[in-house]
Amino acid sequence: MNNLYGKTIFITGATKGIGRSCALAYAEKGANLILTARSSDLLDSLKEELIRKYGIRVHTLVIDVRNSKDVEDKVKSLPESFKKIDILINNAGLALGLDKVYLASPTDIDTVIDTNIKGMLYVTSAIVPLMLKNNSGYVVNIGSIAGDAAYAGGAIYCASKAAVKTFSDGLRIDLVDSNIRVTNIKPGLVETEFSKVRFKGDLEKANNTYKGIDALTPDDVANVVIYATGLPENIQLTEIAMTPNHQADGRTVHREN
């Protein structure tokens, strides 16, 4: 038995990449899951796979985290058996483009800021009150080393991830008199659909992002999430930065030809 067994985990952006890997890693530990994202088909197939393989309880919610009303209503609609949420993984997020900031369209700016910052705030505000009822819980915010320092073409995304860091710090302060812990996990390059989304389906550009480096996998990040949230309750890891071996920071990568 491990201390994640039987816990209830709420994951945003659970259909792909890091969120999906977290879902699988928690399922393997015997945790029950609330999986959320916009793609209902992918949520349904993941739910079916997890129940079949692990025999856990899984509830899915189709949520666009940018819609505060939808977030609030869907969280309120949770069945009683899923209302005691032990761990929230604020993972849904994206970057759009790698251009100079003044060339980005207002639509892309809104999408990135609304998803990465406001979505995280809406989901946290809907779930933390439920955790406070039990004076127990854990909030993991998936930030990025991009939030530590800007890189060329990353001004909007980097700013959004800097906000994840500052928000995590503020939330930790607000919850200091509770048993709820807050961790900001800051990965470097992780090979997922992130770059396909960033480059709007341009696979050559997306693949070049990971060329010549042994990028992190989404499972690597999930393992760290599991590690942090499985620690004894007196231990709060405030931040964890993790990079592939040959990435020093958001700007410095060594690539083998």
Choice between 93 and 137, CB closer to ligand 8X3: 93
Choice between 8 and 60, CB closer to ligand NDP: 60
Pair type for strands 8-12 and 87-90: parallel
The DSSP bridge partners found for residue 139 are 88, 182
- The yes or no reply on residue 126 touching ligand NDP (CB under 6 A) is no
Spatial distance between the Cα atoms of 94 and 16, rounded to a whole number of angstroms: 12
What Å distances lie between residue 177 and 134, 174, 251, CA to CA?
Answer: 13, 8, 38
Q: Which of residues 62-81 bind ligand NDP (CB under 6 A)?
A: 63-66
Choice between 60 and 115, CB closer to ligand NDP: 115
- The yes or no reply on residue 18 touching ligand 8X3 (CB under 6 A) is no
Choice between 26 and 199, CB closer to ligand 8X3: 199
161 classed as catalytic = yes
Q: Which of residues 154-173 bind ligand 8X3 (CB under 6 A)?
A: 154
Spatial distance between the Cα atoms of 154 and 162, rounded to a whole number of angstroms: 12
Residue 141: phi and psi, rounded to 5, are -105, 125
- The yes or no reply on residue 144 touching ligand 8X3 (CB under 6 A) is yes
| Amino acid at residue number 19 | G
- The yes or no reply on residue 146 touching ligand 8X3 (CB under 6 A) is yes
Q: Which of residues 189-208 bind ligand 8X3 (CB under 6 A)?
A: 189
Element (H, E) at 228: helix 218-229
Classified as helix, coil or strand, 73 is helix
Pair type for strands 239-242 and 180-187: parallel
The footprint of ligand NDP on this chain (CB under 6 A) covers a number of residues equal to: 31
Q: Min. distance of Cβ 190 from ligand NDP in angstroms?
A: 4
Residue 32: phi and psi, rounded to 5, are -95, 150
User: Which residues contact ligand NDP by CB under 6 A?
Assistant: 12-13, 15-19, 37-39, 42, 63-66, 91-94, 115, 119, 142, 144, 187, 189-190, 192-194, 197, 218
Q: Give residues in contact with ligand 8X3 (CB under 6 A).
A: 144, 146, 154, 188-189, 250
